[in-house]
Amino acid sequence: MELSKKMQDAINDQIKEEMASAYIYLSMAAYFESLNLGGFAAWMVKQSQEELNHAMKFYAFVHERGGRVVFQVLEQPPTDFDGPIDVFAKTLAHEQFITGRIHDLYAMAVEEKDYASLSLLQWFVDEQVEEEETAGGILETLKMIGAKGQALFMLDRQLAARQ
């Protein structure tokens, strides 16, 4: 069964959002580099790469289903933040936004009885649970330790170890 035009357009929109996520996280990495927080920066670079992988997963799926990927314009990501807590608060909010989009795609696939899309989207539903948990956990740790001092540098070192 070929991908419907409606689902193709919605997935193309999601590809844009995944690419925008990568762009946002890379901007956050650059911000952390400017603060000499290389571990935070490395974590965000890996997060950016993960978002690009998500976009490519959707890209391949559209082509596998006989559809066409049409790229859209990305907006400039934010470049200034009010410290690590602000960055991770924005990261969590962004992941919650993406979760909502994935849920909307899932609901559309249910409505269309598009079982192949449901299979793909279930992976993303599960992935978003992990994304929100991770961002939320780092945010809570930052709130506990504050944005300065030895504990921040220990967390920086821990984040640098992300695989």
Note the pLDDT tens digit of each residue in 80-137.
999 999 999 999 999 999 999 999 999 999 999 999 999 999 999 999 999 999 999 9
* pLDDT (mean) for 3-7: 97
Whether the predicted model's global pTM rises above the 0.85 cut = yes
Give me the domain span that covers residue 59.
Answer: 5-160
Q: How far apart are CA 11 and CA 32, in angstroms?
A: 31
Per-residue pLDDT band at 1 (split at 50, 70, 90): confident
Instruction: Report how many domains make up the chain.
Output: 1
Share above pLDDT 70 across residues of the chain, in percent, rounded to a whole number = 99
The Cβ of residue 39 has, within 10 Å, a number of other Cβ atoms equal to 19
CA separation for the pair 22, 45 (Å, rounded): 8
The residue assigned the tokens 């944005």 is: 147
DSSP 73: P
100 neighbors 49 (Cβ within 8 angstroms): no
CATH code assigned at 121: 1.20.1260.10
Our measurement of the distance from residue 105's CA atom to the centroid of its chain's CA atoms, rounded to an integer in Å, reads: 16
Give yes or no for residue 162 having a pLDDT over 90: no
